[in-house]
Amino acid sequence: MRRFKLIHGETIISATPDLIPVVDLTDYSNLTWVEIEERLRGTRLVVFPTGSVEQHGHHLGVGADWLQADAIARRVGEQCGALVLPTLCYGVSGHHKEFPGVLTITSDTYRRVIAEILESLARYGVEKVVFVNGHGGNTGAIVEAAKEARDRHGMLCAVTHWWDVLASESMFGHAAEEHAGYAETALTLASRPEAVRMDKAVVKETMQADAEIQLVRAGLARFRGGVVRIPLRTIDVTDVGSMTEAHPDEVQTTSDYSMITPGYAEELMGRVVEWLCAFIDRFEGFQVPPVERAYP
Ligand SMILES: [Zn+2]
């Protein structure tokens, strides 16, 4: 019998001492079912990275969303020892489909896929799932599946987005949420530099269709101080695929991404990973009081 130290401090016992000791027990795909069973005795929380395959302007590969989610989640695993599931690369990107290369599944199919994976996890005792979601188009379906998992399995899910983590910060005058903007370019650079063509980078102002209803992006508009959701196709508001998320008066069309250096990219990635590690640490102990309510 041989003991291997895990990152979380638990130990796992192998009956085959000749095997090479397992050091990294944070990557779900590398583990055998025996190791997963043992691992889930020590933690009931897993990290689930999700993304999409969709256009990201002229300068980011179509894998940008899943590449970022995958890299963030792997680093979270390395840094805080969380168990990280395989990344679900495909997502809900129908609103981008006029751009070549987009591979999309419908929201309803996506919700079912997520729900059935959560059901699988519940079978082996997983109680908490932290989504590291790299694509806003997936959010509604993930939240629906998470509600279902709460009702059916008592599971607690948290849906995180890097742009929410960075929401209060200005990226050189641009919003973090901007599609293929500064933040997303930096995180893709930190995740997989081969997917970035910095010399082709451009982010344009959202195209406008009305003198008073100001389009912010596909799906969001402003009118007389309020916001209104107007679901549009991405191609309705941009011809390059990347667009400003801010009010057109507040941000300029730019092709200058020179401030997005590898150092800045690493720093931004580090901030997101650190936040997630702190959140996971707290979420592991998070409980809501049980509700006892009898219905006639
Ligand atoms: Zn993206």
Domain contains 47: yes
Of 154, 159, 160, 147, the closest CA to residue 126 belongs to 154
- The pLDDT of residue 21 is 52
Domain contains 209: yes
pLDDT tens per residue across all 296 residues of the chain:
333 444 444 444 444 545 555 557 899 999 999 999 999 999 999 999 999 999 999 999 999 999 999 999 999 999 999 999 999 999 999 999 999 999 999 999 999 999 999 999 999 999 999 999 999 999 999 999 999 999 999 999 999 999 999 998 888 878 888 889 899 999 999 999 999 999 998 877 888 899 999 888 888 899 999 999 999 999 998 999 987 665 555 555 677 888 999 999 999 999 999 999 999 999 999 999 887 777 77
Neighbours of ion ligand 1 (CB under 5 A): 64-65
- The pLDDT of residue 7 is 43
155 and 149 Cβ atoms separated by less than 8 Å:
yes
Place of tokens 């899943």: 66
- Our count of domains for the chain comes to 1
Domain contains 291: no
Domain contains 24: no
- The pLDDT of residue 76 is 98
**Mind spelling out the 3-state secondary structure of 212-237?**
CCEEEECEEEEECCEEEEECCCHHHC
108 φ/ψ angles, rounded to the nearest 5 degrees: -65, -45
CA of 69 to the centre of ligand 1 (A): 10
129 and 46 Cβ atoms separated by less than 8 Å:
yes
Sheet of 156-160, strands arranged across: 83-84, 45-50, 128-133, 156-160
DSSP E strands in 134-212: the ranges are 156-160, 170-171, 174-175
CA of 161 to the centre of ligand 1 (A): 11
Domain contains 178: yes
Domain holding 71, by residue range, is 43-281
Domain contains 23: no
Domain contains 32: no
- 65: domain CATH number is 3.40.50.10310
78 and 26 Cβ atoms separated by less than 8 Å:
yes
- The pLDDT of residue 8 is 45
Q: What is the pTM of this model?
A: 0.89
CA of 64 to the centre of ligand 1 (A): 6
Domain contains 157: yes
133 and 142 Cβ atoms separated by less than 8 Å:
yes
